[in-house]
Amino acid sequence: MRIILLGPPGAGKGTQAQSISNKYAIPHVSTGDIFRKNISGGTELGVLAKSYMDKGLLVPDTVTIDLVKNRLKEEDTKNGFLLDGFPRTINQADVLEELLNQDGKKIDVALLITVPREFIIQRMTGRRVCQNCGASYHLEFNPPMQKDTCDDCGSELIQRKDDSRETVEERLEIYDFQTLPLIDYYTRKGILKSVDGTQAINEVFNDINDILGGIH
Ligand code: AP5
Ligand code: ZN
């Protein structure tokens, strides 16, 4: 199965991606996580990505597209994947479609997690992420079992630099301007499905399961 996750910052894409990836045994490909790994590893790509991410801006398409092209050449993504945070522009979506077309493949579903603005700031400022595996927690809505420690891998939880109120507001503007057009794009292709992301985490996952269960 080939799935795209869409939704504004803080919609719960990363949270749901972990459960989907486990249940359907498909790799979770998050461009944000790949950039963050490069930042903590001090790579050239990390230095470049950080200069955009810290301001809430998109990393340039050329860089991001090359990264995804290379990731989708790896063996584990041959029979399916879950893309989280990509595509984020119409150009990225066109390139992805072309890339898959070359191999006679296609996206099965673009899953949109909808969450109104008023929920987002609270979700982002309370978020804590694992700096090792990328797992996402929330101080109030999804707390780890042990304070500041990842349930999955035991590493330390940190606050993302781009989760300050000011940067989140910038990211939301960028989302409206550059990423929102993808909703129309995938609606026209007949593969857009929406779930209400304001429900509890397990309820959102149930709705996603209902949708994915209907695809082959
Ligand atoms: P990225 O890491 O992709 O960030 P994002 O899309 O802004 O999404 P988030 O990770 O902030 O939110 P999420 O929807 O995953 O929410 P989460 O599950 O954590 O990108 C970061 C940056 O990288 C971009 O700004 C850009 O610079 C760059 N980048 C990445 N991809 C790019 C691309 N393709 N092109 C160019 N640049 C790119 O949940 C949020 C919080 O809410 C958590 O605390 C969680 O515990 C909680 N929560 C989740 N679900 C619920 C629920 N149902 N109820 C209550 N709380 C919930
Ligand atoms: Zn972890």
pLDDT at 216: 63
- Give, for ligand 1, the residue of 4, 5, 6, 13 to mutate: max count of ligand atoms closer than 8 Å to Cβ: 13
Write out pLDDT tens, residues 42-89: 999 999 999 999 999 999 999 999 999 999 999 999 999 999 999 999
| Three-point CA angle 87, 138, 201, nearest 5° | 65
Give the chain's radius of gyration (CA, Å). Answer: 16
Residues recognised as catalytic: 13, 88, 127, 160, 171
Residue positions forming the annotated binding site: 10-15, 31, 36, 57-59, 85-88, 92, 127, 130, 133, 136-137, 150, 153, 160, 171, 199
Separation of alpha carbons 12 and 63, rounded Å: 25
Low-confidence stretches of the chain (pLDDT beneath 50): none
**Cα–Cα dist 76/157, whole Å:** 28
Q: Report which bound ligand comes closest to the CA of 198.
A: 1
Q: What is the pTM of this model?
A: 0.95
- Residue 47 in tokens: 């230095």
